[in-house]
């Protein structure tokens, strides 16, 4: 029963997002038609503003060095998660909540996650770095 509810929800979200996107485009074209009817002319800036798709910031064309920054940030976050898991399993082990074997499995998992984070972080070296900021004095 839960599976049916899940897939029904997914289908509703997909259909609703398609409907809203189609409706938004139709409203843009209706606005364009009304502008042409009222003024008889169309300015390039108005047309560009009206027909430009509203893409979220994270979907826009990436700037120079954005891949470098993204890998650095993602690697730092993953390494921080590994550090948090290490602290979590240390507390559980030292308080006697879990046996030493279970804590060792947790430490091994945290170590694996930390190595993945380090790999992500250091792989940023293979991407072009962001341009230097001309305002910085360094």
pLDDT in tens, the chain (138 residues): 778 888 899 999 999 988 988 888 888 888 878 888 888 777 777 777 776 666 656 556 677 888 899 999 999 999 999 999 999 999 999 999 999 999 999 999 999 999 999 999 999 999 888 888 766 655
* Interatomic CA distance for residues 65 and 128, integer angstroms: 6
Q: Which residue has the tokens 């550090």?
A: 83
pTM of the entire predicted model = 0.56
Same structural domain, 71 and 107:
yes
Residue 60 lies in a domain: no
* Interatomic CA distance for residues 118 and 120, integer angstroms: 5
Residue 15 lies in a domain: yes
Residue 135 lies in a domain: no
**Counted domains in the chain:** 2
Domain range spanning residue 44? Answer: 2-52
Which CB contacts under 8 angstroms, 24+ apart, belong to 68-71? 68/124, 68/127, 68/128, 68/129, 68/130, 69/124, 69/130, 71/120, 71/121, 71/123, 71/124, 71/127
Same structural domain, 81 and 40:
no
Same structural domain, 48 and 70:
no
């Amino acid at each position: 029963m839960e599976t049916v509810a899940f897939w029904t929800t997914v289908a509703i979200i997909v259909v609703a997002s398609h409907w809203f996107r189609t409706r938004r485009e139709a409203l843009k074209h209706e606005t364009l038609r009304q502008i042409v009817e009222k003024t008889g002319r169309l300015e390039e800036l108005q047309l560009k503003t009206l027909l430009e798709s509203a893409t979220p910031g994270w979907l826009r064309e990436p700037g120079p060095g954005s891949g470098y920054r993204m890998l650095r940030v993602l690697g730092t976050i993953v390494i921080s998660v590994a550090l948090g898991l290490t602290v979590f399993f240390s507390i559980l082990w030292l308080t006697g909540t879990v046996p030493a074997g279970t804590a060792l499995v947790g430490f091994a998992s945290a170590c694996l996650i930390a190595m993945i984070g380090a790999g992500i972080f250091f792989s940023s070296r293979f991407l072009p770095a962001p341009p230097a900021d001309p305002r910085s004095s360094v």
